[in-house]
Amino acid sequence: MLPSFVGCLKNRRCDALLPFSRCYNQWATVVPNEISCENPANVMNLVNGAWNETSKKRKLPDPLTGLNFMSVPDTQISEAGSFISSLKAVPKSGVHNAFKNPERYVMLGDVSAKVATEMRKPEVADFFARLIQRVAPKSYPQALGELVVTRKFFENFGGDQVRFLARGFSNPGDHMGQTSNGLRWPYGPVCVITPFNFPLEIPALQLMGALFMGNKPLLHVDQKVSIVAEQLLRLLHHCGLPKPDIDFMVGPGLTMNEIIKKAEPRNTLFTGSQRVAEKLAADTNGKVFLEDAGFDWKVLGPDAREEDLPYVSWQCDQDAYACSGQKCSAQSILFAHHNWVKLGILENMKQLASKRNLSDLTVGPVLSWTTEAMLAHTHKLLTVPGAKLLFGGKALTNHTIPAVYGAIEPTAVFIPIKEMLKPEVFPLATTEVFGPFQVVTEYSDSEVPLVLDALERMTNHLTAAVVSNNINFIQHVLGNSVNGTTYCGIRARTTGAPQNHWFGPAGDPRGAGIGTPEAIRLVWSCHREVINDFGPIPSTAILKTT
Ligand X SMILES: NC(=O)c1ccc[n+]([C@@H]2O[C@H](COP(=O)([O-])OP(=O)(O)OC[C@H]3O[C@@H](n4cnc5c(N)ncnc54)[C@H](O)[C@@H]3O)[C@@H](O)[C@H]2O)c1
| Choice between 301 and 364, CB closer to ligand X | 364
Peptide bond into 242 cis (omega under 30): no
| Residue (of 496, 491, 490) closest to 462 by Cα position | 496
| Choice between 183 and 280, CB closer to ligand X | 280
**Cα first-last separation, the chain:** 84
* Rounded Cα–Cα distance for residues 44 and 230 (Å): 7
Q: Taking the complex as a whole, how short is the minimal distance between the CB of residue 366 and ligand X, in angstroms? A: 10
CB 331 within 8 A of CB 296: yes
Q: Taking the complex as a whole, how short is the minimal distance between the CB of residue 152 and ligand X, in angstroms? A: 18
Which residue, judged by CB position, is nearest to ligand X in the bound state? 253
CB 289 within 8 A of CB 268: yes
| Choice between 9 and 363, CB closer to ligand X | 363
Grouping H, G, I as helix, E, B as strand and the rest as coil, residue 521 is: helix
| Residue (of 470, 493, 492) closest to 301 by Cα position | 470
The footprint of ligand X (CB under 6 A) covers 193-197, 220-222, 253-254, 256-257, 271-273, 276, 279-280, 291-294, 328, 368, 432, 434, 462
Q: What count of other Cβ atoms lies within 10 Å of the Cβ of residue 353?
A: 23
Grouping H, G, I as helix, E, B as strand and the rest as coil, residue 236 is: helix
The residue type at 467:
V
In this structure, what is the dihedral angle of CA atoms 224, 249, 259, 90, given to the nearest 10 degrees?
A: -150
Q: Taking the complex as a whole, how short is the minimal distance between the CB of residue 260 and ligand X, in angstroms? A: 6
| Choice between 33 and 368, CB closer to ligand X | 368
CB 187 within 8 A of CB 524: yes
Bridge partners of residue 59, in order along the sequence: 71
Strands 50-52 and 57-61: unpaired
CB 131 within 8 A of CB 227: yes
DSSP annotation string for 417-442: HHHHTSTTTHHHHT---SSSEEEEEE
Strands 169-172 and 216-221: unpaired
CB 498 within 8 A of CB 152: yes
CB 374 within 8 A of CB 437: yes
* Rounded Cα–Cα distance for residues 463 and 264 (Å): 31
Work out the angle at residue 61's Cα, subtended by the Cα atoms of residues 55 and 62, and round it to the nearest 5 degrees. Answer: 130
* Rounded Cα–Cα distance for residues 323 and 330 (Å): 9
| Choice between 200 and 280, CB closer to ligand X | 280
DSSP 536: P
| Choice between 205 and 300, CB closer to ligand X | 205
| Choice between 304 and 328, CB closer to ligand X | 328
| Choice between 62 and 292, CB closer to ligand X | 292
SS3 for 346-369 is: HHHHHHHHHCCCHHHCCCCCECCC
| Choice between 352 and 497, CB closer to ligand X | 497
Please list the active-site residues.
Answer: 291, 328
